[in-house]
Structure 1
Amino acid sequence: MIAGSVLQCPLHWLIPRHCRRTIVTLVLCSTWSIVRGFSSVPPQTINYEELKDLLKGKSVFIIDVREPWEVKEYGIIQGSINIPLGDLAPALKMDPKGFEEKYQKKMPNKASTLIFSCLAGIRSKKAVDVAGSLGFDRIHHYAGGFEDWKRNEMPEKKQ
């Protein structure tokens, strides 16, 4: 009889009063994180050696968020996709076929590892925020950017 009456009572009666506010806060924060698309995995800032190691993996995309004229003039990290920062959000929301037609590369999915690069690390840091807000959670920021890459390797010139 007691067990039956416990099942019929409102849920808040079962939770001690001092715990209710904490539980409500946790639920609201978790819900807000899901709605905003934030990841529980923070973006990671990587250096040249870490970039080289990551590029050996599968489903890894390096996205250069500089403007096309910068890429043509200075070069690009081999295998990168050039998506200017202002075009990044729409590009990551495209259908895969449209993405492949526009960028001549397979489109990353939410499980892909994304590495953002620019000239010196400013725009790529903003790109990390954009990708995170769209639900990508394997995000890396190559802080040294193209200048660091150029110090370590010869860039690939785009035609």
Structure 2
Amino acid sequence: MPQTITTGVKALVDDANTRIRTLSIDEAKAMHGRDDVTFVDLRDPREREREGKIPGAFSCTRGMLEFWIDPASPYYKPQFGEDKTFVFFCAGGWRSALAADTAQKMGLKPVAHIDGGFGAWKKTGGPVET
């Protein structure tokens, strides 16, 4: 008997988006490079290699996020202990919505994510390094 999925990914993302701050590309560009903001790239290394990256962004694959945020975890990264605004992004804005929601639930704040993700950033001329 096949599995019955009762909540799809679209519903999960839509639900997350009701609780988190979503930045337009213009808002994100205005925040880029500020000392009080950390951009967090959730894409995997192959995506970053293929598409390029936002200069100065901190890379944290989606699968390690919770472990890197929690100071009690053996995988904790001190970047998540800094008093900054964390701006999450992925390729298109779905993983980053889920990640921002999870980070916020864990107590990280303030957090936001970029509407349309890296794809929209690149398409609108945001700075990219290869």
TM range (shorter): 0.7 to 0.9
Cα distance in 2 for residues equivalent to 1:63 and 1:90 = 14
CA RMSD for the aligned pairs? Answer: 2.0
Q: Does 1:49 align with 2:22?
A: no
State the partner residue of 1:155.
128
Partner of 2:104: 132
Identity fraction in percent: 28
Q: Within 2, Cα distance between the matches of 1:72 and 1:94?
A: 29
SS class of match (1:108): helix
8 Å CA contact retained: 1:111, 1:136: no
Confirm whether residue 99 of structure 1 aligns to residue 71 of structure 2: no
Whole-angstrom distance in 2 between the partners of 1:88 and 1:108 = 10
In 2, Cα distance between equivalents of 1:61 and 1:52:
12
Corresponding letter in the other structure for 2:108:
F
Name the structure 2 match of 1:63: 40
Unaligned runs of 5+ in 1: 1-41, 101-106
Q: Which residue of 2 aligns with 1:114?
A: 86
Runs of at least 5 residues in structure 2 that lack an aligned partner in the other structure: 1-18
Following TM superposition, where does structure 1 have runs of at least 4 consecutive aligned residues deviating by more than 4 angstroms? Answer: none
Choose 1 or 2 for highest CA Rg: 1
| TM-score when normalising by structure 2 | 0.73
- Structure number having the greater helix percentage: 1
**Equivalence map 1:70-89=2 (5 Å):** 70-89=47-66
